[in-house]
Amino acid sequence: MGVVNVTPDSFSDGGRFLDPSVAIAHARQLLAAGADILDVGGESTRPGATRPLLADELDRVLPVIEALADDGATVSVDTMRAEVAEQAVAAGARIVNDVSGGLADPAILDVVARTGVTYVAMHWRAHSDRMQQLTSYDEQGGVVAAVRSELADRVAAIRAAGVADEQLVLDPGLGFAKLPHHNWELLRRLDVLADLGFPLLVGASRKTFLGRLLAEGDPAAGGGDGSPPRPVDQREAAGVALSALLAAGLGGAPVWCLRVHDVRAHRDALAVAAQWGSDGADRAVPVEHGSRGDA
């Protein structure tokens, strides 16, 4: 899943693709590099971000989605708003990627149920301006048990809204209301989340927990010594390494999709992982390429 941020303030590339024509050209480059899905978003969800007006979000994403869908691409809309999801699907989106899992706008579940599109529900606790105040996972089993339990609650609500199991994909929500060590714990135990019975999407690309790991300072501290995180434009190699490890089975469960910024680099990592795990015959890589449901 190639990231297409049509925003002025995304943490990685905010403003670079705000112009629809530039965003469309960038998305076509991601397709040429091997993206299976293009994830078009008009709202930044970086920590501390403020929400755009509904009209602004629509103006950002709809021209891009329509053009890419006309190209025949599989397009995902990255939104928490029911009205944006509705109009995006009408414009040709085949996936709704909702970082709130239906909590921010429950009506989005009605849109998904009625249209039959694939729905990615992420683990989420609050909007960006306060999510990092909700990083306590003190119950037995820690962050892994809490995320599993809270995702299970979302699954129940999503089913109750009439969304079929075949439409649903789950996302552990790396970086959302989580500290760096929480993200690593979740990545090591993806099998616990997979036990819920749904495909998994993982979005780690260029996130702060990778920057913390690579912080300049005491290497033994893993970024925990208070050093500033590695700048966002210097985290790609770590993300590529993580993709290779996920493809090789890190976490004990297959991953349906990786959400990334540099598609070619991550595709290269998957090719290496596939060759490493091959016995000379064609064999599927644990990270699957292709589609889910209507996608």
* Region 242-252 average pLDDT: 90
- Digit-coded pLDDT (tens) for 84-101: 999 999 999 999 999 999
**pLDDT exceeds cutoff 60 at 281:** no
**pLDDT exceeds cutoff 60 at 3:** yes
Residue 208's pLDDT band, with cuts at 50, 70 and 90, is very high
**pLDDT exceeds cutoff 90 at 63:** yes
Query: Cα(84)–Cα(59) distance, rounded to whole angstroms?
Result: 10
Q: Catalytic: 259?
A: yes
Active-site residue (options: 94, 212, 259, 292): 259
Give the pLDDT of residue 280. 52
Tell me whether residue 222 is in a domain. Answer: no
Active-site residue (options: 207, 230, 267, 292): 207
**pLDDT exceeds cutoff 50 at 168:** yes
| Number of compact structural domains in the chain | 1
| CA distances from residue 121 to 16, 153, 185, 202 in whole angstroms, order as listed | 27, 11, 20, 11
Q: Catalytic: 207?
A: yes
Residue 284's pLDDT band, with cuts at 50, 70 and 90, is very low
Q: Are 102 and 158 in contact (CB under 8 A)?
A: yes
Tell me whether residue 66 is in a domain. Answer: yes
Residue 10's pLDDT band, with cuts at 50, 70 and 90, is low
Per mean pLDDT, which range of 8-12, 121-125, 164-168, 237-241 is the poorest? 8-12
Mean pLDDT of the chain: 90
Tell me whether residue 221 is in a domain. Answer: no
CB neighbours (10 Å) of residue 163?
24
Tell me whether residue 284 is in a domain. Answer: no
Give the pLDDT of residue 157. 98
Give the pLDDT of residue 206. 93
For position 74, which CATH number holds?
A: 3.20.20.20
**pLDDT exceeds cutoff 90 at 290:** no
Tell me whether residue 136 is in a domain. Answer: yes
Task: Give the domain range for residue 64.
Answer: 2-216+229-278
Per mean pLDDT, which range of 138-152, 168-182, 276-290 is the poorest? 276-290
**How many Cα atoms sit within 13 Å of 250 on the Cβ side?**
14
**pLDDT exceeds cutoff 80 at 288:** no
**pLDDT exceeds cutoff 80 at 13:** no
Tell me whether residue 109 is in a domain. Answer: yes
In the chain, what percentage of residues exceed pLDDT 70?
88
In the chain, what percentage of residues exceed pLDDT 90?
73
Q: Which residues pair with 39 in a beta bridge?
A: 3, 76
Tell me whether residue 6 is in a domain. Answer: yes
In sequence order, which residues have a C-beta less than 8 Å from that of residue 33 and are 6 or more positions away?
2, 263, 264, 267
Tell me whether residue 147 is in a domain. Answer: yes
Residue 38's pLDDT band, with cuts at 50, 70 and 90, is very high
